Structure 1
Amino acid sequence: MQQKRILIADFLHPVFKVEAEKLGYKVDDFPHYSKEQTLAEIANYHGIAVRTKFRIDKELIDAASGLEFIARAGAGLDNIDEAYAAAKGIKLLNAPEGNRDAVAEHAIGMLLSLMNNLRKSDFEVRNGIWDREGNRGVELNGRTVAIIGYGFMGQRFARKLKSFDVNVIAYDKYKTGFSDEYVTEVSMEQVVKQADVLSLHIPLTRETRQMVDEEYFFHFKKPIFFLNTARGEIVNTRSVLTAIQQGKILGAGLDVLEVEKFPGIADQSWFADLVANDKVILSPHVAGWSVESYRKISEVLANKLKDL
């Protein structure tokens, strides 16, 4: 019987290769491969493991005549043509279990920084300004945190919020009956009435792309703190800035943006206004990429090979 082969075409923790080889796979670890190099070699492999370096599109899938599975080292599958892969009978593996703790902790860190003016006050003290009154924070205790999307990330965020004595509510268009000790399931109408904090934990799809715009924020009855650790393309950045200006958003924590990485991000019309706004805290799409999650993602992914 022919030994099945996996191509690692991105930077994964070495534990993935170790565990895959224990299962009998021949694993070639070529993290520096470009898409062109991958196209030239993919026909020789039964599986490919990637992160986000390039898109697994129709061209690559067509070139992969023997491909049985795509292993995505992370949570989202938006860099894979899911429908075309499914049509070809190719299984998709991902590992949201591996970085859910990292995402939840990052979101909480952003929220506490916003509510306590940590970015602003740190900058001021470093520049000789001692303004206690202007940097008074507001407490999370007793507030209502609304989660949009109650999958692995949303669930872990809710669990970690428990010790803060907050009311956690969640809306998920595709789930029902998920209320538990950490969260109360609600409608979107209840979210916009009750939320003090809004945190996104949904995938990027045709339906969710640019879902959060000016009209979306318009419906909220109270000013909110807004967090996005999901995907940048879900949110219209200019709409966030407008909502801040209008007082509908008190502070925004954005780990992801519509356009990411330099120099492309600097060319966006909203970028200068975003970086100048002291009610926004930014990070470079790193919420799910902790030291620990780097290994855990690969462990989870390798473990799922057992079910193929």
Structure 2
Amino acid sequence: MKILQLDKNHPLIEEQLSAKGFNVDADFTSSYSRLLQIIAPYDGIIIRSRVPMDRNFIRQARNLKFIARVGAGLENIDLEAAAEFGVAVISSPEGNRDAVAEHVLGMLLVLTNRLFISAEEVKQGFWKREENRGDELAGKTFGIIGYGHMGKAVAKRLAGFSLKTVFHDILPDLADEFATQVSLKELMRTADIVSLHIPLTDQTHYLVDEDFVNGMAKEFYLINASRGKNVKTKALVHGLKNGKVRGAALDVLEFEKPSFENLGSENEDLEYLLQSNKVIVTPHIAGWTHQSKEKLAQVIVDKILAKFGS
């Protein structure tokens, strides 16, 4: 079976698949149009995010049996076309769920205790105690939207805090020892903190918009470590300015690019997020640890071998 890797990943993918008799090639630089010319002989493709697996690409890959994405999100794969052409789609959310959950917990504590802003102020020679009083988690309700691998991992880590954890998911009967399943309406009525762990789909695009922010019963903190376009930036900024959103921790942005140079000056709302002392922004690194790089790759290899190893 011939496999083509289109993004750099942990070397164990090539090592282990080759040892099992797979012919693994790599092409990290060719353009989309060039790949269309060479893809036909391959049985499998391993990707991250560089090349979109759209209908045209899948159609051209005439021998394709699977697309494996080293990661969780599948928005760069046309799932309808894959199903139509009989192409299996494999992902590896199990590989970085621990890293994502730890990052979310870290952002939560930094945000509610003003750790980042107060540490920066000390470096600048300011010793502001009253202005940097923290906000304890005890007694609060933490609302998770999306209770898949990431959401469950977050809930598990919250078990040591004296708060209530609830979640909303489109699938029923997912409640466990760590969280209670509720309707979205109930979550919006009770939550003091909202954390997003959802894919980007037509249904979740701009899930957090003006109606969502205004519909929250309480002033709340927002955490987004899923996809940037799950949140409408303009609505978030308006909520931060009027106090409905007490603070935001964002690992992803609606306007995400490889570099932020000059980007802030091009967008007034993004500039506000980057300058606000109520906002933490990290460069899409939730789930991006030394350990998760290996675990993501191992999960992909294990799934490929389980399905096609014989």
TM-score for both structures, normalised by structure 2: 0.94
Which residue matches 2:302?
303
Post-superposition offset of 1:21: 1.9
Which residue matches 1:192?
188
Matched, 1:229 2:228: no
Matching of residues 17-166 of structure 1 within 5 Å = 17-166=14-163
Contact 2:112–2:134 at 8 Å: present in 1 too? yes
Contact 2:141–2:166 at 8 Å: present in 1 too? yes
Query: Alignment partner of 2:40: what SS?
Result: helix
Post-superposition offset of 1:188: 1.3
Post-superposition offset of 1:264: 7.8
Greater mean deviation of Cα atoms: 138-147 or 16-25: 16-25
Matched, 1:294 2:288: no
Matching of residues 175-190 of structure 1 within 5 Å = 175-190=171-186
Post-superposition offset of 1:218: 0.9
Q: Distance in 1 between matches of 2:49 and 2:274?
A: 25
Matching of residues 165-176 of structure 1 within 5 Å = 165-173=162-170, 175-176=171-172
Q: What residue ranges of structure 2 are gaps of 5+ in the alignment?
A: none
Post-superposition offset of 1:178: 1.8
Query: Alignment partner of 1:48: what SS?
Result: strand
Which residue matches 2:202?
206
Post-superposition offset of 1:265: 4.1
Paired AA for residue 252 in structure 1:
A
| Percent of residue pairs bearing the same amino acid type | 41
Deviations along 1:238-276, whole A, 9 cap, x unmatched? 111111111111110010111212358433342211111
Query: Alignment partner of 1:272: what SS?
Result: helix
Contact 2:6–2:51 at 8 Å: present in 1 too? no
Post-superposition offset of 1:58: 2.0
Which residue matches 1:10?
7
Q: Distance in 1 between matches of 2:291 and 2:217?
A: 39
Which residue matches 1:248?
244
Contact 1:209–1:235 at 8 Å: present in 2 too? yes
Distance 1:62 1:268, change over 3 A: farther
Contact 1:17–1:29 at 8 Å: present in 2 too? no
Residue 211 (structure 2) aligned to one of 215, 218, 222: 215
Query: Alignment partner of 2:155: what SS?
Result: helix
Contact 1:168–1:183 at 8 Å: present in 2 too? yes
Query: Alignment partner of 1:146: what SS?
Result: strand
Contact 2:40–2:62 at 8 Å: present in 1 too? yes
Query: Alignment partner of 2:67: what SS?
Result: strand
TM-score for both structures, normalised by structure 1: 0.95
CA RMSD of aligned residues (A): 1.4
Q: Distance in 1 between matches of 2:144 and 2:263?
A: 27
Post-superposition offset of 1:194: 1.0
Deviations along 1:11-45, whole A, 9 cap, x unmatched? 11111112222332110123334333322221121
Paired AA for residue 212 in structure 1:
V
Deviations along 1:69-105, whole A, 9 cap, x unmatched? 1000000000111111111111100000001001111
Greater mean deviation of Cα atoms: 29-38 or 212-221: 29-38
Greater mean deviation of Cα atoms: 220-229 or 55-64: 55-64
Deviations along 1:176-203, whole A, 9 cap, x unmatched? 1222110111111210111011000010
Q: Distance in 2 between matches of 1:55 and 1:204?
A: 15
Query: Alignment partner of 1:163: what SS?
Result: coil
Deviations along 1:215-252, whole A, 9 cap, x unmatched? 11111111111000000011101111111111111110
Aligned length: 304
Paired AA for residue 3 in structure 2:
I
Contact 1:9–1:38 at 8 Å: present in 2 too? no
Contact 2:5–2:28 at 8 Å: present in 1 too? yes
Q: What residue ranges of structure 1 are gaps of 5+ in the alignment?
A: none
Q: Distance in 2 between matches of 1:62 and 1:236?
A: 34
Post-superposition offset of 1:165: 2.3
Deviations along 1:39-73, whole A, 9 cap, x unmatched? 22211210110101121112221221111110000
Paired AA for residue 210 in structure 1:
Y
Greater mean deviation of Cα atoms: 21-30 or 110-119: 21-30
Q: Distance in 2 between matches of 1:125 and 1:137?
A: 16
Query: Alignment partner of 1:44: what SS?
Result: coil
Contact 2:237–2:273 at 8 Å: present in 1 too? yes
Q: Distance in 1 between matches of 2:288 and 2:174?
A: 27
